Structure 1
Amino acid sequence: MIVFFFWLSIFIIVYTYAGYPALLYLLGKACRKTKEYEDYEPSITLLIAAYNEEDFIRRKLDNSLNLDYPSEKLQILVVADGSTDKTAEIVQTYESRHVELCFQPQRQGKLAAIDRAMAFARGDIVLFSDANNIYEPGTLKSLVVPFSDPTVGGVSGAKHIIKDENTLGESEGLYWKYESFIKKQETRLGSCSGVSGEIFAIRRALYEPAPRHIINDDFYLAMRLLRRGYRIVYVPQARSFERTSYSKKDEIIRRKRINAGRYQALRYFRQIFPLKYPRLMWQVISHKVFRLLLPFAMIVAFLTNGLALVPGLSKGEPSILRLTFPFNWIIFSIQSLFYLLSVIGNISAGKQGKLVYLPTFLVNSNIASFQGFLQFIKGNETALWEKVKRADNGEQINA
């Protein structure tokens, strides 16, 4: 049983991180070429959710007004419900430039704010965005082209992390490149199963209000589109840029909440998952659900490997499959080195190489996932975001 649970855990880890992306790549090459779309230029509502974003909102609006898209077809709508700083006041100074504000003093959560703002949206396409990310000039044109296909219900762009002195940015940047690869391959199969909430567009006519207590609103909206038979397309040419969290602690807080939202989504399995579409279900389970198993798989792999070192519990001829000597010690040493590097990465200051920051990022991500699980089972999840500080030097970001 020790050996069985060890290899089951290793399978979950390897399949999630490497096996699934590899299968996607092979299936994508065998099944479908990249689809070509017709030129398309619909009206767009750029819906910016901003809660206490006085440090970022001016830069966001300047960036939005300079996007390469016909102004008569672009509505810029900021929803700033509950903001207690100068966010709403700053947005009002852009009124002469046709920026619209949707504001009420009460804070009821992001979903409630978006639901209220959707009543004022006029665009055929609604692009959900945050206040602390910026777009490249041609992002809107790239993002809306797939909507020329009536089977496409949603389109997600690419999230990029701006490089700075923060080593967290290096590892998170690699993570989003990895995510981009997966979404490209999923799209080649017909539809992707993951979206980036700060650059996610849907047809306004297809918008469905989500339950107010839902944490991951972008995931909920995406799953509902897939469940109704619409495709979601990933467009890497539509690029969004933002800085990483200010510290590892802030990043863990952010990821803990996201993962609590993923566990929460399992509660609505029958209501939101695309159960009638086996391929999409395989994608969702492999891409999203299996990742929730990773912290448990890592714990079990380490503990069972440790038990295999106990004299008498693992005996026989040398065999890696049976985890006998010397393979039990070799694998345990590799695992121990991996976790040691993550400890070094967490306690060291300054810029480290990839040998350190990648294990640190992976371990911290799974710690956050486990904490999200604990938050979920305690029933502490809430629709109100705990705002975390973003690394920023106050300079204009050029993209």
Structure 2
Amino acid sequence: MEIAAIVLILVPVIAYLGYPLVLIGAAAIAGRRRADHSTGGLPTISIVICAYNEAPRIGAKLESVIAALEAWPGAAEIVVGDDGSNDDTCAVVERFAGRGVRLVRGPRGGKAAMLNRIVPSCTGAVLVMSDADPLFDAGTVPALIAPFADPAVGAVAGSVETIRGGGRRGGRFAGADRVFRAYESAMRRAEDDLFGCVSADGGIYAIRAALMPHVVADATDDFYISTAAVAAGRRIAFAPAAKVYEHSIGGDRQQFRRRVRITVRGMTGLWRRRALMNPMRTGWYGVGLIMHKLARRLAPLTLPPLWLLSGLLAARGHMPWSLVFAALSAGFALGAIGFLTMLKLPRPLGLAYGAMLHLAGLGVGVMLFLAGRRYAQWTPQKAPA
């Protein structure tokens, strides 16, 4: 029983703490990767944005993209695909027609269908992908495109930073989101130095147009598209200076539902890209993909049996396991109380509650995936505009 409990406790510790520490330590020893700038010239780029009922946000988004392009001396186009919106999204986008924005209308079919519709019409050698709400930083475009000077780079992941959302409860998880984003960025920087990022965030990333796949409907599109670069034998680079800013989603239930759906779609994407998890084919990237994307999603499933076993061991007088049982009990209680009462918790407890909600969403999402649940089309949760 004790050996089983030790195994159960090691899984989340290694996935969330051990692997990142080893990764960052190895990257520090290896030193910063030197980019190969053997190819010259500026590639043409297409900035691709898919929108569904984004009227309150799409105007600010396009203003930020147009402003960011002022720092880009090369040729660029902005393409917005409207996925059958029934609000004023198209009317807002059409007001930017004279400023280099092209609108493509389509019936409601989901983001994957819209990407497959509009990408063939894009003229850029590099496709810059971004969600409809994150705002571009002024230096985002040149920072994102610079790594493509290295011919070994097939895709580039940018950096997403969280800002406090609007509304009475809009900023409830902003602190937890910022901590998580910093954690992810540290891992991506280390992965980039060692074997390349395992994937990119949908807020901002880019891929060579020649590597763009046909997008499947049931997987997270950012993961599936960016990993097409690895499937083609290229590397995913990380450009921390290529920043976008997005609002935190404030509602507990919104956060939970979002995490469940992302997890189901993420696990589906991993299954579709399972060949990349073979280290015999992809080397250390395969190990990184397993640890970064698979182990972290599976780890929450160890917590309920660990709680049960630690309780049984604590009842037998094993003091260390009493501490484990108490810590897990407190965490589960905090998660349940916070979710049911929606009380505003002080910062340390708020961060812990945000972590528990995140873990719960991961666990439920994995179980739904294993049960055969799939999300081919869904409307993303949004922060208040």
TM-score, with length taken from structure 1: 0.89
Work out the CA distance in 2 between the residues paired with 1:84 and 1:274.
44
Cα deviation for residue 264 of structure 1 reads 1.5
Aligned to 1:53: 54
Mapped contact 1:124–1:204 kept (Cα < 8 A):
yes
Cα deviation for residue 115 of structure 1 reads 1.0
Cα deviation for residue 308 of structure 1 reads 1.1
Match of 1:261 among 256, 259, 265: 265
Mapped contact 1:66–1:137 kept (Cα < 8 A):
yes
Match of 1:103, SS state, is strand
Mapped contact 1:195–1:222 kept (Cα < 8 A):
yes
RMSD value, Cα: 2.0
Work out the CA distance in 2 between the residues paired with 1:270 and 1:175.
25
**Greater mean deviation of Cα atoms: 13-22 or 376-385:** 376-385
**Greater mean deviation of Cα atoms: 362-371 or 183-192:** 362-371
Higher helix share: 2
Work out the CA distance in 1 between the residues paired with 2:310 and 2:218.
38
Q: Which protein shows a greater Rg?
A: 1
Deviations along 1:167-190, whole A, 9 cap, x unmatched?
Answer: 311101110110000000000103
Match of 1:363 among 351, 356, 361: 356
Amino acid at match of 1:349: L
**Greater mean deviation of Cα atoms: 340-349 or 242-251:** 340-349
Q: Percent identity?
A: 26
Work out the CA distance in 2 between the residues paired with 1:122 and 1:220.
21
Amino acid at match of 1:350: K
Aligned to 1:10: 9
Aligned to 1:293: 298
Deviations along 1:8-28, whole A, 9 cap, x unmatched?
Answer: 111111111111111111211
Deviations along 1:193-220, whole A, 9 cap, x unmatched?
Answer: 1311120100111111133x33211111
Cα deviation for residue 269 of structure 1 reads 4.5
Unaligned runs of 5+ in 1: 312-323, 393-399
Over 3 Å counting, the alpha-carbon distance change for 1:387 and 1:218 in structure 2 is closer
Cα deviation for residue 151 of structure 1 reads 0.5
Aligned to 1:321: none
Aligned to 2:255: 251
Mapped contact 2:159–2:241 kept (Cα < 8 A):
yes
Unaligned runs of 5+ in 2: none
**Greater mean deviation of Cα atoms: 273-282 or 136-145:** 273-282
Mapped contact 2:172–2:251 kept (Cα < 8 A):
no
Aligned to 1:127: 128
Report how many aligned residue pairs link the two structures: 376
Deviations along 1:17-47, whole A, 9 cap, x unmatched?
Answer: 1111111112112224232464863221110
Match of 1:175, SS state, is helix
Match of 1:119, SS state, is helix
Structure 1 segments, 4+ long, off by >6 Å, are: none
Aligned to 2:78: 76
Matched, 1:280 2:274: no
Over 3 Å counting, the alpha-carbon distance change for 1:280 and 1:72 in structure 2 is closer
Amino acid at match of 2:103: L
Over 3 Å counting, the alpha-carbon distance change for 1:378 and 1:327 in structure 2 is closer
Work out the CA distance in 2 between the residues paired with 1:258 and 1:171.
17
**Greater mean deviation of Cα atoms: 60-69 or 145-154:** 60-69
**What pairs up with 1:1-399 in 2 under 5 angstroms?**
2-36=1-35, 38=37, 41-67=42-68, 68-70=70-72, 73-104=75-106, 106-163=107-164, 166-211=171-216, 213-271=217-275, 273=277, 275=279, 276-311=281-316, 325-346=318-339, 347-350=341-344, 352-354=346-348, 356-392=349-385
Work out the CA distance in 2 between the residues paired with 1:160 and 1:267.
28
Match of 2:203, SS state, is helix
Work out the CA distance in 1 between the residues paired with 2:275 and 2:115.
21
Mapped contact 2:48–2:128 kept (Cα < 8 A):
yes
Match of 2:121, SS state, is coil
Work out the CA distance in 1 between the residues paired with 2:319 and 2:274.
47
Mapped contact 1:342–1:357 kept (Cα < 8 A):
no
Cα deviation for residue 370 of structure 1 reads 2.2
Aligned to 1:396: none
Over 3 Å counting, the alpha-carbon distance change for 1:274 and 1:223 in structure 2 is farther
Over 3 Å counting, the alpha-carbon distance change for 1:112 and 1:162 in structure 2 is same
Deviations along 1:350-376, whole A, 9 cap, x unmatched?
Answer: 35212x122211211121112212432
Work out the CA distance in 1 between the residues paired with 2:293 and 2:83.
30
Cα deviation for residue 236 of structure 1 reads 0.8
Amino acid at match of 2:294: V
Work out the CA distance in 2 between the residues paired with 1:310 and 1:349.
33
Cα deviation for residue 343 of structure 1 reads 3.9
Match of 1:382, SS state, is coil
Work out the CA distance in 1 between the residues paired with 2:41 and 2:178.
31
Cα deviation for residue 390 of structure 1 reads 1.1
Mapped contact 1:343–1:360 kept (Cα < 8 A):
no
Work out the CA distance in 2 between the residues paired with 1:239 and 1:277.
28
Deviations along 1:298-330, whole A, 9 cap, x unmatched?
Answer: 11211110121334xxxxxxxxxxxx5222222
Aligned to 1:316: none
Mapped contact 1:45–1:122 kept (Cα < 8 A):
yes
Match of 2:71, SS state, is coil
Over 3 Å counting, the alpha-carbon distance change for 1:339 and 1:209 in structure 2 is same
